């Protein structure tokens, strides 16, 4: 089977979201910073796969859910920190710090694509194959400069 010409670009551009997640440990909802995939580069050390519980007992995943089955790539404050405790999660309040980290580590925050997607009719937040909350909001698109 022939390889798709898009294959080498898969997961190069990453979407940063603000997403409401239930912290079962502290029994609170938190506006956590999440990604659509694990980013390349130094920030990847602070990203873990979080098995987020449903926000409602009426939420169930349908048969067409991808292999993440309700899991989320969440940004942590420290590498190897306890993912169960939301005190270790980066939140909406940390967005300026995350932007500073991305810029200091040579990530490219794509302002024009972010603006284009925020003003288009294509919703990169909300409900998707792996997210059923509908409250996820895109913050920005970014990439790490690697050779293709």
Whole-number CA gyration radius for the chain: 16
Q: State how far the Cα of 91 lies from the Cα of 57, in Å rounded to an integer.
A: 24
Specify the length of the chain in residues: 148
Per-residue pLDDT of the chain (148 residues; tens, 9 = 90+): 788 877 766 668 899 999 999 888 888 999 999 999 999 999 999 999 998 765 556 655 444 444 455 789 999 999 988 998 999 999 999 999 999 999 999 999 988 777 777 666 555 555 544 454 557 888 999 999 875 5
104: number of Cβ within 10 Å: 9
What is the pTM assigned to this prediction?
A: 0.78
Give the integer Cα–Cα distance in Å for 103 and 4. Answer: 31
CA angle 85, 90, 91 (to 5 degrees): 100
Cβ neighbours around 36 below 10 Å, total: 20
Helices (H), 11-110: 95-104
* Of the candidates 10, 90, 11, the residue with the CA atom closest to the CA atom of residue 46: 90
Tokens (6 digits) for 96: 């300026």
Quote the CA–CA distance of 6 and 27 in Å, as a whole number. Answer: 42
């Amino acid at each position: 089977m022939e390889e798709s010409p898009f294959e080498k670009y898969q997961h190069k551009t990453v979407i940063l979201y603000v997403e409401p997640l239930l912290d079962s440990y502290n029994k609170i909802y938190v506006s956590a910073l999440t990604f659509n995939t694990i980013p390349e580069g130094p920030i990847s050390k602070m990203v873990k796969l979080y098995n987020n519980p449903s926000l409602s007992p009426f939420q169930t995943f349908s048969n067409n859910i991808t292999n993440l089955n309700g899991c989320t790539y969440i940004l942590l404050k420290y590498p190897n920190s306890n993912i169960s405790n939301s005190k270790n999660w980066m939140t909406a309040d940390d967005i300026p710090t995350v932007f500073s980290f991305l810029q200091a580590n040579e990530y490219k925050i794509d302002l024009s694509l972010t603006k284009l997607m925020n003003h288009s009719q294509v919703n990169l937040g909300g409900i998707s194959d792996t997210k059923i909350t509908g409250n996820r909001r895109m913050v920005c698109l970014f990439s790490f400069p690697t050779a293709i």
